[in-house]
Amino acid sequence: MTRTLSPGALMAAETAEQPAVWRRQLAEAGPGGASGLAEAAELVRRRAPRFVLLVARGTSDHAALYAKYLVEITLGLPVGLVSPSTYTAYGRRPDLRDVLMVAVSQSGGSPDLLRTLEVAKAGGALTVSVTNNAASALATTADAHVDVLAGPERAVAATKSYTAQLLALNLLFGGAGADALPDLGDAILARDAELAALAVRYRFAERMITTGRGYSYPTAREAALKLMETAYVSAQAFSGADLLHGPLALVEPRVPVLAVTSAGAGGQAFAPVLDALAERRADVVTVGSAARDVVLPETAEPLAPLLEILPFQLLARHVAVDRGGDPDAPRGLRKVTETL
């Protein structure tokens, strides 16, 4: 007899696996480890690139945005986010000597990312892939590959592969101090009932806004995507700085705002955004280590995004189920989306 899974069961199970994935990554990060991290990092150090380009799609694009902040802030190198169409649809072949191109992909199977990496390699770039599939075309084409070791991800909405990408990128670019993360992650995920109660507040929401600054901005982007693809909420993500311009006109009491606000420079810079939202009497819930609503443990600012996204993953699943949906079977979506 075939057992029918309850709505969101796959997403729930994979969300819960994340601390275990992080422990595995940390254990395999050294020389000779299964991730290939140490070898990739050493190759990057030897080549000493002067510029970094990141290429990704979907959820992985938010991991790449995180890496952009990380490299610019911690290493002081200029970083760009690639438009794959430049290399595919428009067929351009730029000179990429002294450039590091990092391709981030859960599956490693996107044709446009593969073509972009091939063109970059031919143009003189050092290429590194960060995927959850060491046998993928992207992994075998790059000069070095980092396996995020997330294990099979069956749910359509990416959860564990996303935070595994964040940690892999952090370690690739010299991050440290992540040993406490798995235990902190377990503690946050144990608060599932708290997020289930919050989800009831958004059962009938038609539009939502997510926002953050600095390292928290990729979290806002990923949170909006999770709400859109699982609960079919029209969620728009804005940098706090951008929100203070034209998009602020969208804010009204009927449009809930989810604000990511954590300790550190990004959180401090976000304070005027909260003031502006209060002036507009917005329905705001804050999430993060400097939040007043869903308060998270404080950690080093570059590591905070791994913890910040966990409540949003829980929230999105509960909102989807409360609205009568199944986040494991969203309308018109499948696990691997190929774009050309």
pLDDT digit string, tens, across residues 192-251: 999 999 999 999 999 999 999 999 999 999 999 999 999 999 999 999 999 998 899 889
Q: What is the mean pLDDT of the chain?
A: 94
Element spanning 138, H or E: helix 137-141
Residue 62 sits in the same domain as residue 120: yes
In angstroms, the CA 83 to CA 329 distance is: 29
**Rounded to whole angstroms, what are the CA distances from 27 to 23, 35, 71, 243?**
6, 9, 23, 40
For residue 337, the Cα-to-chain-centroid distance in whole angstroms is: 17
Task: Give the global pTM.
Answer: 0.95
The tally of CA atoms less than 13 A away on the side-chain side of residue 31 is: 2
- Please state the domain count of the chain: 2
Q: Per the domain annotation, does 111 fall within a domain?
A: yes
Range of the domain at 302: 181-322
Q: Per the domain annotation, does 157 fall within a domain?
A: no
Q: Per the domain annotation, does 163 fall within a domain?
A: no
Residue 198 sits in the same domain as residue 280: yes
Reported as a single tens digit per residue, the pLDDT across 40-92 is 999 999 999 999 999 999 999 999 999 999 999 999 999 999 999 998 889 99
Q: How many CB atoms lie within 10 A of CB 38?
A: 17
Average pLDDT over residues 22-26: 98
Q: Per the domain annotation, does 191 fall within a domain?
A: yes
